[in-house]
C-alpha cells in the first residue's frame, strides 16, 4: 500500500501543489473577517471536492469548518484531524522575496504565508483521505476534520465550540500536524504541552516619587520593596519558593523517561543556538525542567526611569510574569498560592497582584496508551523506518487542553513542516518533499488504525 501511495502522491504532485498555492493566496489573517470567511469557504470547497461532506459553522469569531466521512465499519475507531486556516500577519512585507499571498515555488519549496503554518499541513490530511479512497477504497476508520480560523490569536472561539459540539467531535483521538520536524530531519511526535498564565505585581510605597536626598532614609522605596519581594519567590536556581507551587506536579512515568533518553542532546550546540555561555544540565535534567516542571519567569520589570540620572525614590514598581504550568496543575490554585505568599511577606506599601489575559491550560497524553504506539509505528513506517523522536511534552503552550480536558481524548501531534519553515516570519515556506511526505504519513496512519498490515 505504501508503494501505491507514493506513486499516487508523485503522479498528483502538480495538482496538490496547485491546490496549496491557491489556498495560500487567501490572505486569511484572523483580524480580517472578510478574508478569513472567503478562505473558510474555499476550504469547504476543497474538502467537498475531496469527497468529505463539510459544514461551515459561524462563531463569535471566524468560522469553524467541520467535515466527516464515517466508515461502513461502525465499530471502526475515529480520528479527528485539527488544523487552522488563519495565518500570521505577513509584515514586514519588504523582507519577503516573493509576495506572501502569491505562493511561489523556488528550489524545492513553496513560499507563502501559511504554506507551513498551517495550510500545507492540514491540506496534506485532506489529500491523504482522498488518495486513500481512490487507491484503496473504503476508509478503515471514521474521519472527522475541524479547522478553525482564530488559532494565531489564541483560539478564543474553539473552546466554546468544542463544549457545544462534544458529540459531533467525539473521537478516539485527535491528530494534529503543526510546527516543524526535529532539527535532525527525523520525524517528531509530541504528546503534550505546558500551559501558561500571566500576572503582574505592583508595589506602591507613596503617593508620589520623592527627593532621594531630602527624604532618603525615611521614605520607603518601591523598587527595593519589589526586589525584596521577588527574592522571596525563587532560590535563584530555578526552584520556586512559593508554598504550594509544586502541589499537583506529577512525576515523569518510566516510559516518558525512556522516551527522553532517546532524544539526541548536545549541550554545546544548544548553548550556541540559544546564545548562552553554557547549559549546565545533563539531558535528564534539561528535559525534566522543560517537560515536567512549572516555571515562574519575570517577563518585565519597571520602576523609576532607567534612561535618566535622577535622584529620586520611586513610589511605584511593577513586575510582569508568566508561569508555564505542567499537566495536572490548576491555574487558580497556583494563583491563590502566589496571593497567599505575598500576603505573608513584610513589604512596605500597598502590593497589588492581578492576572492578565486568558490562561491556557496544560495538556498531556499518556504515552502508554495503545493509540500512541500505533501512531508512532505508522509514522516510522511512513518515513522509511526512521525512528521518530517522541517528546512527552513541549515547553510552549498550545490549545490542546480542549481535546484532552473537554473531549477527554488523547491528542497526538505529528508535525510535517521542515525545521526552517520560517513560520511567523518573512519567507515562510514548506519543502515540497515535506508536504508530499505529509500526505503519505497521514494515509499510512489511517491504514495502520484500520488494523491492516
Q: Which residues bind Zn ion (CB under 5 A)?
A: 117
How big is the chain by its Cα radius of gyration, in Å? 25
Closer to Zn ion by Cβ: residue 88 or 205? 88
Q: Which is nearer to Zn ion, 101 or 245 (CB)?
A: 101
**Cα 89 from Cα 116, distance rounded (Å):** 14
Rounded to a whole number of angstroms, the minimum distance from the CB of residue 29 to Zn ion is: 11
Nearer to Zn ion, 216 or 396 (CB): 396
Q: How far is the CB of 151 from Zn ion (least distance, A)?
A: 7
Q: What is the DSSP letter of 417?
A: B
Distance of CA 256 to the CA centre of its chain: 20
At its nearest, how many Å lie between Zn ion and the CB of residue 424?
6
Q: Which is nearer to Zn ion, 86 or 359 (CB)?
A: 86
> Shortest Cβ distance from residue 152 to Zn ion (Å)?
5
How far is the C-alpha of 225 from the C-alpha of 322, rounded, in Å?
20
10 Å Cβ neighbour count for 399? 23
- At its nearest, how many Å lie between Zn ion and the CB of residue 116? 9
- In angstroms, what is the minimal distance from the CB of 118 to Zn ion? 7
Which of residues 117 and 148 has its CB atom nearest to Zn ion in the complex? 117
Residue nearest to Zn ion (CB): 117
18 CB-contact burial (10 Å; exposed 0-12 / middle 13-18 / buried 19+): exposed
Q: How far is the CB of 261 from Zn ion (least distance, A)?
A: 30
Q: Which is nearer to Zn ion, 117 or 359 (CB)?
A: 117
Query: Helix, strand, or coil here: 376?
Result: helix
Name the grid cell of 331: 491555574
CB 399 to Zn ion: min, Å: 12
Task: Between 117 and 381, name the residue whose CB sits nearer to Zn ion.
Answer: 117
Q: Dihedral of CA 232/234/239/244: which sign?
A: positive
Residue 20 and residue 237: Cα distance in Å, rounded? 47
Distance in Å, CB of 25 to Zn ion, minimum? 18
Of the pair 83, 450, the CB lying nearest Zn ion is at 83
In the 8-state DSSP scheme, what is residue 388? P
CA-based end-to-end distance of the chain: 9
Residues 6+ apart with CB under 8 A from 283: 260, 261, 263, 265
Show the cell assigned to 370: 495503545
Burial of 166 from C-beta contacts in 10 A (0-12 / 13-18 / 19+): exposed
- Nearer Cβ to Zn ion (87/327): 87
Residue 449 preceded by cis peptide, ω within 30: no
Amino acid at each position: 500500500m505504501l508503494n501505491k501511495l507514493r506513486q499516487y502522491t508523485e503522479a498528483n504532485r502538480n495538482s496538490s501543489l496547485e491546490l496549496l498555492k491557491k489556498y495560500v493566496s487567501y490572505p486569511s489573517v484572523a483580524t480580517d473577517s472578510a478574508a478569513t470567511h472567503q478562505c473558510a469557504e474555499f476550504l469547504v470547497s476543497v474538502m467537498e471536492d475531496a469527497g468529505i461532506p463539510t459544514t461551515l459553522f459561524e462563531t463569535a469569531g471566524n468560522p469553524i469548518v467541520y467535515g466527516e466521512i464515517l466508515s461502513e465499519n461502525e465499530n471502526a475507531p475515529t480520528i479527528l484531524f485539527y488544523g487552522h486556516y488563519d495565518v500570521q500577519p505577513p509584515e514586514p512585507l519588504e523582507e519577503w522575496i516573493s509576495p506572501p499571498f502569491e505562493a511561489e515555488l523556488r528550489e524545492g519549496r513553496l513560499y507563502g504565508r501559511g504554506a507551513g503554518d498551517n495550510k500545507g499541513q492540514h491540506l496534506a490530511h485532506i489529500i491523504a483521505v482522498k488518495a486513500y479512497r481512490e487507491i484503496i477504497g473504503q476508509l478503515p476508520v471514521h474521519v472527522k476534520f475541524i479547522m478553525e480560523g482564530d488559532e494565531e490569536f489564541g483560539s478564543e472561539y474553539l473552546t466554546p465550540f468544542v463544549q457545544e459540539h462534544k458529540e459531533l467531535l467525539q473521537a478516539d483521538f485527535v491528530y494534529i500536524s503543526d510546527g516543524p520536524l526535529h532539527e535532525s530531519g527525523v520525524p517528531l511526535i509530541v504528546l503534550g504541552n505546558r500551559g501558561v498564565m500571566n500576572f503582574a505585581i505592583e508595589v506602591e510605597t507613596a503617593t508620589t516619587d520623592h527627593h532621594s536626598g531630602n527624604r532618603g532614609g525615611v521614605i520607603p522605596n518601591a523598587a527595593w520593596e519589589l526586589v525584596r519581594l521577588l527574592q522571596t519567590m525563587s532560590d535563584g536556581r530555578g526552584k520556586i519558593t512559593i508554598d504550594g507551587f509544586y502541589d499537583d506536579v506529577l512525576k515523569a512515568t518510566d516510559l516518558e523517561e525512556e522516551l527522553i533518553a532517546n532524544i539526541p542532546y548536545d549541550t554545546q550546540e544548544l548553548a550556541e543556538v540559544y546564545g548562552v555561555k553554557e547549559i549546565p544540565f545533563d539531558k535528564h535534567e534539561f528535559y525534566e525542567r522543560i517537560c515536567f516542571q512549572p516555571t515562574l519567569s519575570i517577563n518585565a520589570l519597571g520602576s523609576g526611569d532607567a534612561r535618566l540620572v535622577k535622584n529620586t525614590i520611586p513610589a511605584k514598581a511593577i513586575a510582569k510574569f508568566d508561569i508555564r504550568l505542567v499537566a495536572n496543575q490548576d491555574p487558580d490554585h497556583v494563583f491563590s498560592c502566589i496571593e497567599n505568599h505575598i500576603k505573608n511577606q513584610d513589604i512596605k506599601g500597598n502590593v497589588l497582584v492581578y492576572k492578565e489575559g486568558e490562561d491556557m491550560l496544560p495538556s498531556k497524553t499518556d504515552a502508554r496508551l495503545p493509540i500512541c504506539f500505533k501512531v508512532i509505528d505508522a509514522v516510522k513506517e511512513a518515513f522509511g523506518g526512521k525512528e521518530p523522536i517522541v517528546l512527552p511534552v513541549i515547553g510552549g503552550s498550545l490549545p490542546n487542553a480542549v481535546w484532552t480536558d473537554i473531549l477527554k481524548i488523547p491528542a497526538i501531534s505529528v508535525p510535517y513542516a521542515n525545521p526552517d519553515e520560517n513560520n511567523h516570519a518573512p519567507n515562510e515556506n514548506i519543502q515540497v518533499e515535506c508536504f508530499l511526505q505529509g500526505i503519505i504519513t497521514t494515509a499510512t496512519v489511517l491504514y495502520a488504525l484500520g488494523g491492516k498490515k
